[in-house]
């Protein structure tokens, strides 16, 4: 019964994720207007909005304008339903399953948006972080040993988030120092913080290793394909793609401090003041709105999401294997 309910609710939430994935990068409200065709603005009726089934019944076309409906919509719904079922099957019905179901939905949104738009909305990262901290605080209140407060006052999720964010800020600083360009986006730092808040710290670290491994394999393959496809193109075309300017040192360090101390989670007015203090506001105003990712630009967020999924499924087994191999277990 729990698995069936998880699948049904997961599909419904997956339908909402499609709204998030489409509207959030375009700065549109995810609440208003209601679900509609993005081409002809036809407002969907109840029967046109049933996860997966409506797409099949409509034969993947809008009922009014007959334009095709992307297969991404049922794919996201099915994927979210599958992950919710997997979470309930793995953790059993309880607070862990609820937390990981919600976290997996946020990760789907982060994956899809970053893959297409090279950004991870702050709202998605903030929601994932909230899920981790809320689960941890509930565990501390319920007296669960794994969620006991550090030093009697520090939630483990908050401490782990600080460590993971600090590690990624370190990557930003190292990339800026060695290559004089941005090696990691701020969205990736916030995503690392959220992953650290949800996963046990050991598994969060393993997830980043998985992310690097998967990113290296897939990224190398993508670059090889891009290089092959671009052999017959004039060399001048590559120069026409505008390159983003590297983040200045003061902005980089101030933003890193903000993310490591969770100050970006303050209310909007205080957050706006922090943005002005960091200098990120001036940096954003100077960015080229026509920037298009070149063939060597690879979003790392999707690989972090895949790494987190692999770590939940196989991370502890990987840790046990490693400790056994080096004779520590």
pLDDT (tens digit per residue) in 58-110: 999 998 899 999 999 999 999 999 999 999 999 999 999 999 999 999 999 99
pLDDT the model gives residue 257 = 96
d(CA 272, CA 196): 25
> How confident is the model over 267-295, as a mean pLDDT?
77
Say whether pLDDT at 162 is over 90: yes
218-264 tens-digit pLDDT: 888 887 887 777 654 544 444 455 566 788 999 999 999 999 999 99
Return the bridge partners of 154, or none. 150
Q: What is the pTM of this model?
A: 0.92
Percentage, residues of the chain above pLDDT 70: 92
DSSP-based helix, strand, coil % in the chain, nearest 5: 70, 0, 30
pLDDT in tens, 109-139: 999 999 999 999 999 999 999 999 999 999 9
Provide the total of helices (H) and of strands (E) in the chain, helices listed first: 14, 0
Over residues 168-213, the pLDDT tens digits come to 999 999 999 998 888 889 999 999 999 999 999 999 999 999 999 9
Let me know: does 188 contact 300? Beta carbons within 8 Å: yes
Q: Give me the pLDDT at residue 235, please.
A: 45
Nearest to 20 by CA among 11, 8, 28: 28
Residue 241: count of CB within 10 angstroms of its CB? 14
Residue 203: closest CA among 146, 121, 155: 146
* Per-residue pLDDT at 238: 47
- Secondary structure letter of residue 150 according to DSSP: B
Comparing 268 with 186, the larger pLDDT belongs to 186
């Amino acid at each position: 019964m729990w698995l069936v309910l998880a699948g049904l609710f997961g599909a419904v939430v997956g339908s909402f994720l499609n709204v998030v994935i489409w509207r959030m990068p375009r700065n549109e409200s995810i609440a208003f207007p209601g679900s509609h065709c993005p081409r002809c603005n036809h407002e969907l009726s109840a029967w046109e909005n049933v996860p997966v089934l409506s797409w099949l019944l409509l034969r993947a076309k809008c009922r009014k304008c007959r334009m095709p409906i992307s297969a991404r919509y049922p794919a996201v719904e099915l994927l979210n339903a599958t992950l919710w079922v997997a979470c309930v099957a793995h953790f059993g019905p309880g607070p862990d399953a609820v937390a990981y179901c919600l976290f997996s939905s946020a990760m789907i949104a982060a994956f899809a948006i970053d893959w297409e738009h090279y950004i991870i909305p702050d709202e998605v990262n903030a929601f994932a972080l909230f899920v981790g901290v809320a689960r941890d605080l509930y565990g501390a209140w319920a007296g669960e040993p794994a969620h006991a407060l550090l030093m009697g006052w520090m939630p483990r999720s908050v401490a782990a988030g600080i460590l993971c964010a600090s590690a990624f800020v370190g990557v930003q600083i190292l990339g800026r120092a060695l290559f004089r360009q941005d090696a990691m986006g701020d969205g990736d730092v916030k995503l690392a913080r959220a992953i650290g808040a949800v996963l046990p710290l050991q598994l969060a670290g393993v997830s980043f290793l998985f992310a690097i491994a998967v990113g290296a394999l897939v990224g190398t393959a993508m670059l090889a394909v891009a290089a092959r496809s671009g052999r017959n193109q004039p060399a001048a075309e590559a120069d026409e793609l505008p390159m983003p300017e590297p983040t200045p040192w003061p902005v980089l360090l101030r933003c890193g401090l903000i993310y490591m101390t969770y100050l970006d989670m303050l209310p909007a007015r205080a957050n706006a003041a922090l943005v002005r203090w960091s200098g990120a506001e001036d940096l954003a105003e100077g960015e080229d709105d026509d920037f298009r990712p070149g063939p060597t630009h690879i979003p790392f967020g999707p690989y972090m999401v895949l790494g987190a999924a692999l770590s939940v499924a196989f991370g502890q087994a990987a840790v046990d294997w490693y400790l056994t191999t080096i004779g520590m277990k």
